[in-house]
């Protein structure tokens, strides 16, 4: 629904649906590890804080995936990821190019 509203707003502002789709950064987060991902945060590379938990406390079980929309309206391609696992450990990946990489897989 959000994407539909965004496309309609872009078209009303003089843009096309193709331009609006180009601005979004969909990412498939795939969990191929043995642990459940409790939280997933993505922020522009170099930001001094983590944005909201994109899993919204739903978690991501092993051998499952979820599609996330990372678009923050800035058009940037490079993000830092922070994953908090249910065992309390944290995995951080820096400078991930989501314009080139549409699937991110967490492995052991």
pTM of the entire predicted model:
0.73
Give the separation between CA 81 and CA 76, rounded to whole angstroms.
14
Query: Per-residue confidence at 24, pLDDT binned at 50, 70, 90?
Result: low
Is 25-106 assigned to CATH 2.60.40?
yes
Q: Which residues contact 65 (CB under 8 A, 6 or more apart)?
A: 28, 29, 30, 31
Note the pLDDT of residue 94.
Answer: 95
Handedness of CA 73, 76, 82, 83 (dihedral sign): positive
Q: Are 31 and 60 in contact, with CB atoms under 8 Å apart? A: yes
Q: What is the pLDDT of residue 39?
A: 95
Nearest CA to 98 out of 29, 51, 16, 10 is that of 29
């Amino acid at each position: 629904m959000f994407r539909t509203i965004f496309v309609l707003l872009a078209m009303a502002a003089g843009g096309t649906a193709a331009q609006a789709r180009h601005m979004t950064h969909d990412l498939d987060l795939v969990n191929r590890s043995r642990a459940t991902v409790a939280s997933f945060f993505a922020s522009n590379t170099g930001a001094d804080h983590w944005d909201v938990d994109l899993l919204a406390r739903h978690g991501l079980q092993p051998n499952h995936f979820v599609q996330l929309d990372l678009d923050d309206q800035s058009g940037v391609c490079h993000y830092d990821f922070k994953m908090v696992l249910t065992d309390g450990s944290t995995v951080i990946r820096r400078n991930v190019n989501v314009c080139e990489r549409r699937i991110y897989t967490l492995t052991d």
